[in-house]
């Protein structure tokens, strides 16, 4: 065996015995091995090589048509007591998991290979990083994990004889929808995923480990695992201030993390640096500030809507060594396309299902709405110099946000940490294609963690409140709420969004530094119209007014919605009820 780690040896022997692969292959992290796997993937049709002149190192993959997004209804927390999973998670007892789900793994790798992927979340060898080992029968998963995480022998060296690791058991099995399960065992730090081969269901380092399992570890150890992007705003004088922001899936994290400043800002010397686009591990530093690090090594980004206009840095990130999944393949030049890339869809193409597709005459979308690119972080032109800093970056602000057509204004600031936690706990957003199910319905999604919190969400709120109990609360990041998605009567977005969002970040960061004013409202502090820099932007005064409006009637409804949501919890911290009562009183 390649490892001296007894626990790993035993577990791998168990996996092989259970799933009966023909062969066990260790992923060593070398380019030579990955290249061989790409070639093998091509021979089976799993991977398609794209135009190597235009897209060097890039490949295409179709997932199974029934397997295109996370399956929240089939995602379970398997702790001993149901109340520890809480009212917002599916729960299965470990015993039931053994009788109901374990049999699905029996012999599932017969005729296949079992790939063993040792990986590190966070820079290899950093004391703040964590190690996982995923076994899988999917070459696509191996190649994707090699982009999204740090994989290979160097991880085994750090693991050593006695190191701890999260066990990830994955098999695409039959890709059967009825028998698809994504299980998490927070106590034994195990993940079982069967009958899916896509995204957060199958790349176990991502949501399963870095959020669901890590959130439970963080609670024990006094830190936080959050569904947040991390970015730095560099000012003309060279100072960089950092922001972490939680938006639900497909609500703009990747876009904000890589934003290109508007022309006027660029001329003045503003820059934005991306530290992470999806996940943040946040720990208190010795100086009393909170530090955020990105445990991932790549971007698993939403393709549709990504263009040189909306997100040129994401586009640049995908020009080499990238895997594209479920987008359109242009047969004329063997490149890719998706809705929103440009106004020039290919005519001679195949859609995400592999059917002939002509973009000029098509009546159906060519790219699946949750089609994605898997791109190395180092490709990103605005990747932060702190990307590999294991300590992370000190946060000035934390931001929550969602898709709200009406209720939420463009931005508001919470009154203090506890109120900020309340604002996060009360977050709501319209559902998107990132998860299977209905799209566009408003649901409560606290801290954008509804699908990702590995334990009772009431305890999670308490943990957030506890993180604010520090000797000097003035050193904590201030907490804000944003909404890029407010609509006018015709259903059009009022705020231009994307790069222009820097105008809102500038106000947020100025607030954190005590450099600018605000107006108190019942829901929090809002910029006065003159506080936002709108130079170079043609926004009607009426539109600005609508963006900054707090409609008290709608907010009274919101209070009812939050109250109904809170009623689900039997472990809701008293403080949050007090916050809700206080909001109600302020609204009159």
What is the per-residue binding string for ligand GTP in 258-277, x denoting contact by CB under 6 A? -------------------x
The reply to whether 134 sits near Mn ion by the rule CB under 5 A is: no
Instruction: Please state the closest distance from residue 437 (CB atom) to ligand GTP, in A.
Output: 14
Could you give the residue numbers annotated as active site? 251
Query: Which of 255, 294, 368, 384 is in the footprint of ligand GTP by CB under 6 A?
Result: 255
> Counting contacts by CB under 6 A, is residue 298 touching ligand GTP?
no
What binding mask, one character per residue, do residues 195-234 give for ligand GTP by CB under 6 A, x or -?
A: ----------------------------------------
What value, to the nearest 5°, has the Cα angle with vertex 377 and ends 371 and 379? 95
Which positions from 186 to 225 touch ligand SPV by CB under 6 A, shown as an x/- string? -------------xx-----xx------------------
> Shortest Cβ distance from residue 248 to Mn ion (Å)?
8
CB of 105 closer than 8 Å to CB of 167 = no
- Give the CA-trace dihedral at 37, 39, 42, 46, to 10 degrees: 0
What is the smallest separation between the CB atom of 448 and ligand SPV, expressed in angstroms? 8
Sign, Cα dihedral of 212, 218, 224, 230? negative
| Closer residue to ligand GTP, CB minimum distance, 109 or 447 | 447
Integer angstrom CA distances of residue 354 from 63, 326, 367: 10, 9, 10
- Would you give the DSSP letter of residue 436? S
Torsion (CA) 526, 529, 533, 539 in degrees, nearest 10: 120
Residues with Cβ < 8 Å from 380, sequence gap 6 or more? 258, 274, 299, 313, 314, 316, 317
Work out what residue 251 binds among Mn ion, ligand SPV, ligand GTP, none; the CB cut-off runs from 5 to 8 Å by kind: ligand GTP
Cα separation, 522 vs 583, in Å, equals 6
Residue 112 touches which of ligand SPV, Mn ion, ligand GTP, none (Cβ within 5-8 Å per kind): none
Helix, strand or coil, per DSSP, at residue 229: strand
**Nearest partner of 447 among 187, 251, 166, judged by Cα:** 251
463 closest CA partner among 247, 276, 226, 227: 226
Binds 207, which of ligand GTP, Mn ion, ligand SPV, none (CB < 5 to 8 A, cut-off by type)? ligand SPV
Q: How far is the CB of 305 from ligand GTP (least distance, A)?
A: 3
Contact map string, positions 259 to 278, toward ligand SPV, x by CB under 6 A: -------------------x
List the one residue out of 315, 328, 244 whose CA is nearest residue 279.
244
Tokens of 551: 């409609």
> Could you list the residues that contact ligand SPV (CB under 6 A)?
70, 199-200, 206-207, 249, 278, 300, 434
> Could you list the residues that contact ligand GTP (CB under 6 A)?
247, 249-255, 277-278, 301-302, 304-305, 310, 434, 484-485, 493, 497-498, 501
């Amino acid at each position: 065996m390649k490892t001296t780690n007894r626990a790993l040896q035993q577990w791998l022997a168990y996996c092989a015995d259970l799933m009966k692969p023909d062969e066990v292959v260790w992923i060593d992290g070398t380019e030579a091995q990955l290249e061989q796997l790409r070639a093998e993937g091509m021979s089976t049709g799993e991977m398609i090589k794209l135009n190597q002149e235009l897209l060097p190192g890039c490949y295409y993959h179709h997932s199974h048509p029934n397997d295109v997004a996370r399956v929240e209804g089939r995602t379970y927390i398997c702790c001993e007591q149901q109340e520890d999973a809480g009212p917002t998670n599916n729960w299965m007892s470990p015993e039931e998991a053994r009788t109901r789900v374990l049999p699905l793994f029996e012999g599932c790798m017969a005729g296949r290979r079992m790939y063993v992927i040792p990986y590190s979340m966070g820079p290899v060898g950093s004391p703040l990083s964590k190690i996982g080992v995923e076994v899988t029968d999917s070459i696509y998963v191996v190649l994707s994990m090699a982009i999204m995480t740090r994989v290979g022998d160097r991880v085994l060296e750090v693991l050593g004889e006695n190191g701890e690791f999260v066990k990830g058991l994955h098999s695409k099995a039959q890709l059967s929808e009825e028998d698809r399960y994504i299980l998490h065992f927070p106590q034994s730090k195990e993940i079982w995923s069967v009958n899916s081969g896509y995204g957060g269901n199958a790349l176990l380092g991502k949501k399963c480990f870095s959020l669901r399992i890590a959130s439970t570890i963080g609670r024990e150890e006094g830190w936080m695992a959050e569904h947040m992007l991390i970015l730095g705003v560099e000012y003309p004088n060279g100072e960089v201030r950092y922001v972490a922001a939680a938006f639900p899936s497909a609500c703009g994290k990747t876009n904000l993390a890589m934003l290109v400043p508007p022309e006027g800002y660029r001329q003045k010397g503003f820059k934005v640096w991306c530290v992470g686009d999806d996940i943040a591990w946040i720990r208190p530093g010795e100086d009393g500030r909170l530090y955020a690090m990105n445990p991932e090594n790549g971007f698993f980004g939403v393709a549709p809507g990504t263009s040189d206009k909306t997100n040129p840095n994401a586009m640049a990130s995908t020009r080499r060594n990238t895997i594209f999944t479920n987008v359109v393949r242009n047969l004329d030049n063997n490149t890719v396309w998706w809705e929103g890339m440009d106004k020039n869809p290919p005519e001679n193409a195949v859609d995400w299902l592999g059917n002939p597709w002509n973009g000029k005459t098509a009546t159906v979308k060519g790219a699946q709405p949750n089609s994605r690119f898997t791109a190395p972080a180092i490709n990103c032109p605005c990747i932060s110099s702190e990307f590999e800093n294991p300590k992370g970056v000190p946060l000035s602000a934390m931001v929550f946000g969602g898709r709200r057509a009406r209720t939420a204004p463009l931005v508001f600031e919470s009154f203090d940490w506890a109120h900020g936690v309340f604002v996060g706990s009360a977050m709501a957003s319209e559902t998107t294609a990132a998860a299977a199910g209905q799209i566009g319905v408003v649901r409560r999604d606290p801290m954008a963690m509804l699908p990702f919190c590995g334990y009772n969400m009431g305890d999670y709120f308490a943990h957030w409140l506890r993180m604010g109990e520090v000797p000097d609360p003035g050193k904590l990041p201030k907490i804000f709420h944003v909404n890029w998605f407010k609509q006018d009567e015709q259903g059009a977005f009022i705020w231009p969004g994307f790069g222009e969002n820097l105008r809102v970040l500038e106000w947020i960061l100025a607030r954190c530094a005590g450099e600018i004013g605000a107006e108190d409202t019942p829901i929090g502090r809002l910029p006065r119209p003159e506080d936002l820099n709108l130079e170079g932007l043609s926004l009607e005064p009426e539109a600005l007014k609508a963006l900054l409006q707090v409609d008290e009637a709608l907010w009274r409804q919101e209070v009812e919605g939050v109250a109904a949501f809170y009623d689900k919890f039997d472990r809701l911290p008293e403080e949050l009820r007090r916050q809700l009562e206080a909001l109600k009183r302020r609204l009159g």
